[in-house]
A and B are shown apart, each in its own frame.
Chain A
């Protein structure tokens, strides 16, 4: 079973600051997804990265996939209170097609 480690576990910052959260694996990802979960709701998919070295942008969010496809990062520029939530990475696909394995997540709190 692939283990996904996310860091940091908790992040508390002020509005306007930048931040980066990380997702690392003991083995190569088939593909990797990032989800955001707001309090009282289910996770919502933000992005899927597939190719080593891939960079995707979603407004103020930048997602990078490591060249070796064993790590990924999510960078948020000028964080806003609306970015508050749990950020989860998930390994997708592989031999168990359709099955996702999630990391423990990073709880982000952005204070106004």
Chain B
């Protein structure tokens, strides 16, 4: 069974550029979560969707960050413009709605120079 798929696995970009991270949740899961992990702040929830609808985006750090879920099998997290402090590993996770077990993807390591 395919788990959560994230792309790209690594992204190196320059400050000011737009970055788009992609996620395909596990088929049948109807909750999707975006997290950011850094050494300083640990694993932080950015936003999550239930049935493709954003439920809580209070963790999104700034207006530079946006997330969409156009359908049940795809989500994007966009940073525009990117800054060096956005460098982190970004994880996508999915679950069945109402079930607390989340399945994480392998993450995207973002480096903004």
* Cβ-neighbour of B100 out of A44, A100, A105 (below 8 A): A100
- Which residues in chain A, 32-61, are within 8 Å of chain B measured between CB atoms? 33, 40-45, 48
Known contacts: A42-B4, A105-B42. The answer to whether A98 contacts B104 by CB under 8 A is: no
A48 CA to B43 CA, complexed, in Å:
18
A96 and B56 contacting across the interface, CB-CB below 8 Å? yes
- 22 residue pairs from A and B, CB less than 8 Å apart: A31-B100, A33-B100, A33-B101, A40-B106, A41-B107, A42-B104, A42-B106, A43-B104, A45-B102, A48-B101, A93-B100, A98-B50, A98-B98, A99-B45, A100-B33, A100-B45, A101-B45, A102-B42, A103-B42, A104-B42, A105-B42, A105-B43
A96 CA to B57 CA, complexed, in Å:
12
- Tell me whether A21 is interfacial, beta carbon within 8 Å: no
A41 CA to B109 CA, complexed, in Å:
11
Segment among B65-73, B78-86, B89-97 that sits at the interface with chain A:
B89-97
Q: What are the residues of chain A within 8 A of B4 when measuring CB–CB?
A: 42
- Tell me whether B34 is interfacial, beta carbon within 8 Å: no
- Tell me whether A92 is interfacial, beta carbon within 8 Å: yes
Task: Give the number of residues in B that approach A within 8 Å (Cβ atoms).
Answer: 24
Task: Give the number of residues in A that approach B within 8 Å (Cβ atoms).
Answer: 22
B48 and A99 contacting across the interface, CB-CB below 8 Å? yes
- Tell me whether B75 is interfacial, beta carbon within 8 Å: no
- Taking A42-B91, A42-B93 as given, write out 7 further A-B residue pairs in contact, using a Cβ cutoff of 8 Å, ordered by the A residue number: A48-B101, A88-B43, A98-B31, A98-B95, A98-B98, A99-B33, A101-B45
Give the 3 A-B CB pairs with smallest separation, nearest first.
A42-B104, A92-B100, A104-B42
Closest A residue to B100 by CB, please name it: A92
